[in-house]
């Protein structure tokens, strides 16, 4: 087949047009996934609280060019997803000479607190105070407050509350007194009380309903047993005696257990109140600002 010049020209023009359109599309596609665009999209996702996808976008950027501010946002994303252990790891990646380094150290301590790694957190605080990288007064408040949450020997009361602000000192003094002399009750005392007067130990443990029930049932079956013995109905008498003994022993044991539960509840409520107090004050640490700017 013979191709005329006009047809050849038209064919070449068609090929050039296809190449131009394809090349233009590829350039637009490359531009769409540029580092700047992915960074902007990551920031958008972060501010929309889509933290998991924001992390993916930020990590792509960080592989190409390091940016401490983006790394801080990666760590913050994990923190806001309650992945506190991973947040600690990510905050540790922020460089020492970065503008966000100091805040990353605060957030690192905050992450450890949220992870309930109080002892390790205090060791990190000791490091930061020795090299003076952080404001010691702020982190000492966090350190002292966590002493209330573990089995630690408390410092003298004056030293303990001295680091706190005036408005918080009274509350911290209350916490300190509770920790030093918790209002626990005695399991032994409860058992002895119920051994003398069935149910009284449970009333002592604030289980008034159970205490009254124990008293009535033990008393009822004891009365029935005595009555049957007096009427020479020995078979029934021994049956009621066994039931009364069962309730009696159960009420003594149950009273001791009730006090243990009472003490556990007192401890749980105390720790919850301390944590709430600390969290309401943002762990006594400055919080990051303008992360969505």
Read off the pLDDT of residues 235-276 as tens digits, 9 standing for 90 and up.
888 998 899 889 889 889 999 999 999 999 999 999 999 999
pLDDT at res. 8: 55
pLDDT at res. 266: 94
Read off the pLDDT of residues 200-247 as tens digits, 9 standing for 90 and up.
999 999 989 988 988 898 888 888 888 888 888 888 889 988 998 898
Read off the pLDDT of residues 16-54 as tens digits, 9 standing for 90 and up.
554 444 444 444 445 666 889 999 999 999 999 999 999
Query: Pick the residue with more confidence: 189 or 152?
Result: 189
Question: Distance (Å, rounded) from C-alpha 287 to C-alpha 104?
Answer: 10
Token pair of 212 as six digits: 């009254």
Token pair of 181 as six digits: 């002399």
Any idea which fold 31-134 has? Answer: 1.25.40
Percent of the chain scored above 90 by pLDDT? 62
- Write the burial class of residue 226 (CB in 10 Å: 0-12 exposed, 13-18 middle, 19+ buried): middle
Please name which of 32, 36, 38, 44 lies closest in space to residue 56, comparing C-alpha atoms.
Answer: 38
């Amino acid at each position: 087949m013979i191709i005329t010049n006009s047809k050849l020209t038209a064919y070449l023009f068609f090929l050039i047009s296809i190449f131009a359109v394809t090349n233009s599309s590829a350039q637009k596609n490359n531009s769409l996934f540029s580092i700047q665009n992915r960074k902007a999209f990551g920031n958008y996702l972060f501010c929309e609280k889509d933290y998991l996808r924001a992390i993916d976008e930020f990590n792509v950027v960080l592989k190409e060019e390091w940016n401490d501010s983006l790394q801080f946002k990666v760590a913050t994303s994990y923190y806001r997803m309650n992945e506190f252990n991973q947040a600690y790891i990510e905050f540790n990646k922020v460089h020492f000479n970065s503008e966000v380094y100091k805040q990353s150290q605060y957030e690192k301590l905050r992450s450890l607190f949220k992870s309930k790694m109080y002892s390790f957190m205090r060791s990190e605080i000791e490091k930061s105070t020795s090299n003076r990288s952080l404001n010691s007064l702020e982190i000492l408040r966090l350190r002292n407050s966590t002493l209330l949450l573990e089995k630690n020997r408390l410092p003298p009361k004056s030293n303990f509350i001295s680091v706190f602000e005036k408005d918080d000192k009274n509350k911290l003094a209350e916490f300190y007194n509770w920790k030093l002399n918790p209002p626990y009750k005695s399991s032994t005392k409860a058992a002895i009380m119920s051994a003398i007067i069935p149910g009284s130990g449970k009333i002592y443990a604030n289980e008034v309903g159970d205490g009254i029930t124990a008293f009535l049932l033990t008393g009822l079956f004891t009365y029935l047993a005595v009555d049957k013995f007096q009427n020479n109905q020995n078979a029934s008498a021994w049956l009621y005696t066994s039931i009364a003994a069962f309730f009696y022993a159960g009420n003594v044991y149950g009273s001791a257990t009730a006090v243990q539960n009472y003490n556990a509840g007192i401890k749980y409520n105390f720790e919850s109140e301390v944590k709430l107090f600390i969290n309401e004050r943002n762990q006594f640490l400055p919080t990051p600002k303008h992360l969505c700017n």
